[in-house]
A and B are shown apart, each in its own frame.
Chain A
Amino acid sequence: MKLSDWFFDRYAVQSWIDFFRKKYVPVHKHSIWYYTGGFCLFLFMVQVVTGILLLLYYRPTAEAAFESVQFIMTKVRFGWLIRSIHSWSANLLIGALFIHMFAKFFLKSYRKPRELTWVSGMLLFLIFLGFGFSGYLLPWNELAYTATKVGTEMTNLVPFVGKYLLVFLRGGEQVSGATLTRFFGFHVAVLPIIVTVILAFHLLVIQIQGMSVPIKLEEHKSKLKQLPFFPDFMLHDMLGWLVAFGVLAALAALFPWELGTKADPFIPTPIGIHPEWYFVFTYQTLKLVPSRIFFIEGEVLVVFGLAVGIIFWLLVPFLDRKSNQGIPAKFFTIVGIIIVIYIIVTTIMGYVIPA
C-alpha cells in the first residue's frame, strides 16, 4: 500500500486535487495583475523562513539587540545574506502589496461577490505595515530608534485615548528596552497569528470564488481563454518567483542592508531623518499641514483624515454601488488616481525637500 493511498483513504485529498485541476484562470490583457498576489505570497514566505532563521540568534533587549544583529552579520555563516534578504524582501513586499492593492482597486475586483476578499486584503496590508514598523526597531540602531520615536509620537495625537495608546505601544512614556521587547512580541507572535488567520481566509475565498475579470469583460467571461490553475498558472507564478529570488539575492549581495550605529537615547535626533519609505507620505503630510486650521490642531486633523481615509478605503466595495451593478465607476477611478499621485508626490517631496 502506497503512503499516498493511506492518506487518500482517510482524508479528502483527492477532492482538493480535483478542485485545483478544474480551476481555471481567465486570460485577457489585464491577466498580468493576477500574478501580483502570488508575488506577495512568495515574499511573505521568504519573510517567514528568513525571520525564523534570524530568530535563532536575535536577542530582543536594548543591551543585546544591536550586538546580536552585528553577530548575525559578521559571525554567523550566511547570516549577512539572511538578514539582508529579510530586510530587502520586507521592503519589496510592502511595494508589491501597494501594487497588488491598487491593481485590484482599479480593476474593481472588490465588487460583489468579492467584498470580503478586499476587506481581508486591506487588513493584511495594514498588518504588514505593522510588521514593517515593528521590525524596523528590532536592530536597535540610531535610525530605527528615532523613526520609532517619531512614529509612536503620532499615536499621541489620537483624541482621548492617544496617551494610553502611546504608553501601550512604547511600554512606558519613552522609547526604551521595554518598547523593543514589546515590538519583538508583536513582530514574531501577535502579528503572525493574525496574518495566518486572515491570509488563510483571503486565499480560501480566492480559491472558492476564482479570479475576478474586469467589468468590461464580465459579459464575455465565458468566451475568454482559460488557463488551468494547476500546473500552468502555478508554473507562470513560479517563474516570477524565481526572478524575484534572483533579484533578492543580487540586492542582498551587492547592496547588503546596513546596520548603522547603535541607538543612544541620550543623543539628539539626527538632522534630516525620515521614516521608512512607505510611511514618508504620512510624515510629509504632517509637515505640510499648518499647525492650526481654524480651531483644530493641524496634526490632529491629519490623523483624523488618515483614519477616515483608511475606513473609506476599507469600505470601498460597499460604497461603490455602480461597480456592483456592472457599470464602471469613474468617480472611484479618479479618487484612486488622486491617491496614487498624492502618495508618489509627497513621498518624493519627503526625500527631496530638506527637513
Chain B
Amino acid sequence: MKWLNMFITAIFFFFLYASNGLAQNSCIICHKKSEDTDLKRPTMKLADDIHFKNGITCEKCHGGDANPAFQKDEEAAMDADKGFIGVPDKGDIPKLCSRCHSNAQYMKKFNPNLPVDQYQQYLTSQHGKRLLKGDDKVAVCSDCHGVHNIQPPNVITSKIFSVNIPKTCSKCHSDSVYMKDYGIPTDQYALYKKSVHGINLLEKDDRSSPSCTSCHGNHGAYPPGVTSVSNICGTCHVTQREMFLTSPHKEAFEEMDLPQCIACHGNHGISNVKREMLGVGENSFCINCHDEGSEGYLAAQKMGAEQDSLYKKIEQAKLLLMKAEKAGVEVSEGEFILKEAHNAFVKTQNSVHTFSYEKFHQVIVPGFKTAQNAVQQGRLALNEVQNRRRWLAIISILIFIVAISLYFKIKAMSKR
C-alpha cells in the first residue's frame, strides 16, 4: 500500500507540474476563453515567450492579481488598487521594461551577461529623443522585440535574430506614409536587399554580414556622423580603415564634407567592389573629384592600368590552366599559385585605400610575379599536353610498324 500511495502522489505531482504555467494564472484562464480575438491574442504565443518561460507572467507588466481564485472575479483580478494598468501607453513602455532590464541585481538571476544599459542607450537614440519630445510614432521596445512572444536574439524566429533585423526595421522605415513627417528616405531596405551585405545575410545566410544594427547600433540607434563612418565600416574592414586614416584622402574628404567610405562605396546599397571603380574610365569614382591632368588623376590612371593588367594576367593563367586540366594534366600546383595570385589581387584592391601610387605599386609588384608564375605553370602544363601527344604519336607509329611486321610474319607462316 505504501508503494501505491507513493505512486499516486507522484502522478498527482506530475500533473500538477505539467499543468503549471498557462492554467495557474487568472489572466490567462480568462483571456484564453475570450471570444474577442484582441483579448485572446496575447495568450496564443505565450509558450514561446522568454518572460513567460522564466515565470514572469502578465501581472508583472500589467499589474493586477493573477491568482487563479479570481478567474471568475474580473474586478478583483484587474483592480487598480492592485496596480492594474491594462494596456500600457506606448510612451511608457521603455520605462516599464527598464524597471527590470536596468536592474543589474535582478537581471543577474536570469543572465549575468545581459547588458542593463538598454534604457540609457535608448534615451540617446533618435527614437528615444523623439519619444521624450512626445512623438509616440517612434519605435519603442515592443516594436522591435514583440509583445507577448518575445524571444532572445539567438532564436531563429525572433524579430531581432540577425537575419530578421532588416525586416523588423523596415516595417517602419520602408513605410513612406508612416515616415513622411521625418524627411528621410524609405528605400534603405530595398537597397540593402540588393547590396553585397544584404545578399550575404539574407540569401547566403552569412550571419557575419552586417544588418542595420551593425552600423547604426540597436538601442542607441543613430545615423553615424560624416567623420565617424570609417569607425563603423572599420569594425570589420580593419586594414582598409587604417590605410584610409593615414591617406591624403582623410583630410581632403573632411574639408569637402564627404562621408569617408560612403563617398565611394555608398551605404545601404553597397555593391561588390568592381575594377572599374579605380582608374579614369567612365565608371571610375576617382574622376568625380580629380580633374584630367591633375596629380591625383594621373595616379588614378596608373593604378587603374596596373590593376587591370594584373587582372588580365590572372585571367590568362586561369585560361591556360583550365585548358591543360581539360586535356587531363594534373594542375593542382598551378591552381595553388593561381589562388595566391588572386589573393595578391585582393590585397592590391585593398591597398587602393592608401590613395598613394607608390604604396599601391609596392603591393602590386609581388602580385605580378605570382600571376606570371601561374601563367608559366599553365604554359608548362600545355607543353606537357603537347609532349604527351608527340610521344603517343611516336609510340603509335612504332607499335603500328611492329604489328604490321608481325601480321606479315604470321601470314607467311600460315602459308608455309
Name A residues whose Cβ lies closer than 8 Å to a Cβ of B. 70, 73-74, 80-81, 231-232, 235-236, 238-239, 242-243, 245-246, 249-250, 253-256, 258-259
Cross-interface CB contact of A253 among B389, B402, B409, B413, cutoff 8 Å: B389
Q: B interface vs A, CB < 8 Å? A: 328-330, 332-333, 388-389, 391-392, 395-396, 399-400, 402-403, 406-407, 409-410, 413-414
**Complex CA distance for A73 and B330, rounded to whole angstroms:** 7
Q: Which residues of A contact B389 (CB under 8 A)?
A: 253-254
Interchain Cβ contacts under 8 Å between A and B, 13 examples:
A81-B388, A232-B410, A232-B414, A242-B399, A242-B402, A242-B406, A246-B395, A249-B395, A249-B396, A250-B392, A253-B388, A255-B328, A256-B329
Distance A330 CA – B403 CA, assembled complex (angstroms): 40
The distance in angstroms between the C-alpha atoms of A73 and B329, with both chains bound, is: 8
CA distance A259 to B325 in the complex (A): 11
Tell whether, in the assembled complex, residue B406 and residue A238 are in contact, meaning their CB atoms are under 8 Å apart.
yes
> In the complex, are the beta carbons of B406 and A239 less than 8 A apart?
yes
Q: Count chain B CB atoms within 10 A of each CB in A74, A239, A253 and give the residue with the most.
A: A253
Q: Which residues of B contact A81 (CB under 8 A)?
A: 388
Give, as a whole number of angstroms, the nearest-CB distance from B332 to chain A.
6
Give the distance in Å from the alpha carbon of A254 to the alpha carbon of B396 in the complex.
Answer: 13
Contact (Cβ within 8 A) A249 B330: no
Q: In the complex, what residues of A have CB within 8 A of residue B400's CB? A: 246
Contacts of B396 in A (CB 8 A): 246, 249-250
Give bound CA distance, A243 to B395, whole Å. Answer: 11
CB-contact partner of B406 in A80, A235, A253, under 8 A: A235
B392: which A residues are within 8 A, CB to CB? 249-250, 253-254
B414 → chain A closest CB, angstroms: 8
Given A232-B410, A235-B413, A249-B392, residue A254 in contact with residue B328 (CB < 8 A): yes
Collect the chain A residues with CB atoms within 8 Å of residue B413's CB.
231-232, 235
- Is A259 a contact partner of B330 (Cβ separation < 8 A)? yes
Do residues B409 and A235 form an inter-chain contact, with CB atoms below 8 A?
A: yes
Contact (Cβ within 8 A) A74 B406: no
Asked if A74 and B395 sit within 8 Å, CB to CB, the answer is no
Cβ A239 vs Cβ B407 within 8 A: yes
Of chain A, the residue at the smallest CB distance from B399 is A246
Seed contacts A232-B410, A249-B392, A255-B328; 19 additional CB < 8 Å A-B pairs: A70-B332, A73-B330, A74-B333, A80-B329, A81-B388, A232-B413, A235-B406, A235-B409, A236-B410, A239-B406, A239-B407, A239-B410, A242-B399, A242-B402, A249-B399, A250-B392, A250-B396, A254-B328, A259-B330
A239–B391 CA distance with the chains assembled, in angstroms: 21
Per the bound structure, the CA–CA distance linking A253 and B391 in Å amounts to 9
Known: A74-B333, A232-B413, A254-B392. A239 touches B403 (CB 8 A): yes
- Report the nearest A residue to B398, measured CB to CB: A246
Report chain A residues within 8 Å CB of B333.
74
The smallest C-beta distance from B292 to any residue of chain A, in angstroms, reads 50
How distant is the Cα of A81 from the Cα of B332 in the complex, in angstroms? Answer: 17
Chain A residue numbers with a CB within 8 Å of B399 are: 242-243, 245-246, 249
Contacts of A259 in B (CB 8 A): 330, 332
Query: What CA separation (Å) do A245 and B413 show in the bound complex?
Result: 24
Q: Is there an interface contact between A242 and B330, defined as CB atoms closer than 8 Å?
A: no
Shortest CB-to-CB span from A89 to chain B, Å, is 15
- Give bound CA distance, A74 to B389, whole Å: 17
Task: Chain B residues near A253: list those with CB within 8 A.
Answer: 388-389, 391-392
Chain A residues with CB under 8 Å of B410's CB are 232, 235-236, 239
Q: Are B328 and A242 in contact (CB under 8 A)?
A: no
CB closest chain-A residue, reference B325: A258
Q: Given A235-B409, A243-B403, A253-B388, verify A80-B330 contact (CB < 8 Å).
A: yes
Across the two chains, which residue of chain A brings its CB closest to B391? Answer: A253
Contact of A70 with B406 in the complex, beta carbons under 8 Å: no
Nearest-neighbor residue (CB-CB) of B333 within chain A: A74
- How many Å lie between the Cα of A80 and that of B387 in the bound state? 12
Q: For B395, what are the chain A residues with a Cβ–Cβ distance below 8 Å?
A: 246, 249
Q: Which chain B positions have C-beta within 8 A of A70? A: 330, 332
Residues of B within 8 A of A255 (CB): 328
| Chain B residues with CB under 8 A of A249 | 392, 395-396, 399
In the complex, A294 Cα to B1 Cα: how many Å?
A: 48
Within 8 Å CB of B330, what residues of A?
70, 73-74, 80, 256, 259
A70: nearest chain-B partner, CB-CB = B332
Who on chain A is nearest to B416 by CB?
Answer: A232
- How many whole Å from A247's CB to the nearest CB in chain B? 10
CA distance A235 to B410 in the complex (A): 7
Q: Tell me the complex Cα distance, A258–B326, Å.
A: 10
- Shortest Cβ distance from B387 into A: residue: A253
**Smallest Cβ distance from A355 to chain B, in angstroms?**
26
A231 to B410, CA, bound (A): 9
A256 to B403 CA separation, bound complex (whole angstroms): 24
Q: Which residues of B contact A238 (CB under 8 A)?
A: 406
Contacts of A245 in B (CB 8 A): 399
Chain B residues closer than 8 Å to A232, beta-carbon distance: 410, 413-414
Contacts of A243 in B (CB 8 A): 399, 403
Distance (whole angstroms) from the CB of B401 to the closest CB of chain A: 10
Tell me, in angstroms, the Cα distance from A70 to B332 when the chains sit together: 8
Residue of A nearest to B402 (CB): A242
Chain B nearest Cβ from A68, distance in angstroms: 13
- Report how far A263 CA is from B16 CA in the complex, Å: 55
Residues of A within 8 A of B414 (CB): 232
Residues on B with beta carbons closer than 8 Å to the beta carbon of A73? 330
Q: How far is the CA of A235 from the CA of B407 in the complex (A)?
A: 9
Minimum Cβ distance to chain B for residue A235 (Å): 5
Q: How far is the CA of A76 from the CA of B394 in the complex (A)?
A: 21
C-alpha gap A275/B154 in the complex (Å)? 42
Considering the complex, give the chain B residue whose CB is closest to the CB of A79. B330
